[in-house]
Amino acid sequence: MTNAVPFATERAVIRLIVAGGGTGGHTFPALTTVNTLRDQLTVRGIELEVLWIGKADSLEARVAADNDIAFAVVATGKIRRDRNPLKMISRANLSDMCRVPVGVGQAWRAVGRFAPDVVLATGGYVAVPVGLAAWLRRRPLVIHEQTTRVGLANRVLARVADVVALSSESSVALLPRSTRTVVTGNPVRPEIFAGQRDKALAGLGLAGFDPALPTVYVTGGAQGAVQINTVVRELLPWLLVRANVIHQCGKSGIAGLRENASGLDPDVVDRYWLTEFVGAELPDVLALADVVISRSGAGTIAEVTALGKAAVLIPLASSAGGEQAHNARVLAGQGAAVALLGEVSAESLRAALEPLLADPERRSSVAQQARLCGRPDAADCLARVVLSAAG
Q: What tens digit of pLDDT does each residue of 296-340 get?
A: 999 999 999 999 999 999 999 877 778 899 999 999 999 999 999
What's the 3-state SS for the chain? CCCCCCHHHHCCEEEEEEECCCCHHHHHHHHHHHHHHHHHHHCCCCEEEEEEEECCCCHHHHHHHHCCCEEEECCCCCCCCCCCHHHHCCHHHHHHHHHHHHHHHHHHHHHHHHCCCEEEECCCCCHHHHHHHHHHCCCCEEEEECCCCCCHHHHHHCCCCCEEEECCHHHHHHCCCCCCEEECCCCCCHHHHHCCHHHHHHHCCCCCCCCCCCEEEEECCCCCCHHHHHHHHHHHHHHHHHCEEEEECCHHHHHHHHHHHCCCCCCCHHHEEEECCCCCCHHHHHHHCCEEEECCCHHHHHHHHHHCCEEEECCCCCCHHHHHHHHHHHHHHCCCCEECCCCCCHHHHHHHHHHHHHCHHHHHHHHHHHHHHCCCCHHHHHHHHHHHHHC
Identify whether the C-beta of residue 60 lies closer than 8 Å to the C-beta of residue 126: yes
According to the model, what pLDDT value does residue 100 have?
Answer: 72
Nearest to 149, CA basis, from 22, 304, 301, 17: 301
Percentage of the chain modeled with pLDDT above 90: 82
How far apart CA 301 and CA 327 sit, in angstroms, is 8
- Domains in the chain, CATH or no CATH each: 7-188+377-390 (3.40.50.2000), 191-373 (3.40.50.2000)
According to the model, what pLDDT value does residue 11 have?
Answer: 59
Residues of the chain with pLDDT under 70: 1-11, 77-99
Over the stretch 355-369, which tens digit does the pLDDT of each residue have? 999 999 999 999 999
According to the model, what pLDDT value does residue 222 have?
Answer: 79
How far apart CA 145 and CA 154 sit, in angstroms, is 7
Backbone angles phi, psi at 115, to 5 degrees: 50, 65
* Neighbouring residues of 288: CB distance < 8 A, sequence distance ≥ 6: 195, 197, 200, 201, 215, 217, 246
Nearest to 124, CA basis, from 222, 27, 223, 16: 27
pTM of the model: 0.87
194: exposed, middle or buried (Cβ count in 10 Å: 0-12, 13-18, 19+): exposed
According to the model, what pLDDT value does residue 23 have?
Answer: 87
Q: 254-261 and 226-242 helices cross at what angle (nearest 10)?
A: 20
According to the model, what pLDDT value does residue 338 have?
Answer: 98
Over the stretch 64-88, which tens digit does the pLDDT of each residue have? 999 999 999 999 755 544 455 555 4
How far apart CA 85 and CA 60 sit, in angstroms, is 31
How far apart CA 39 and CA 378 sit, in angstroms, is 15
Nearest to 68, CA basis, from 38, 106, 46, 110: 38
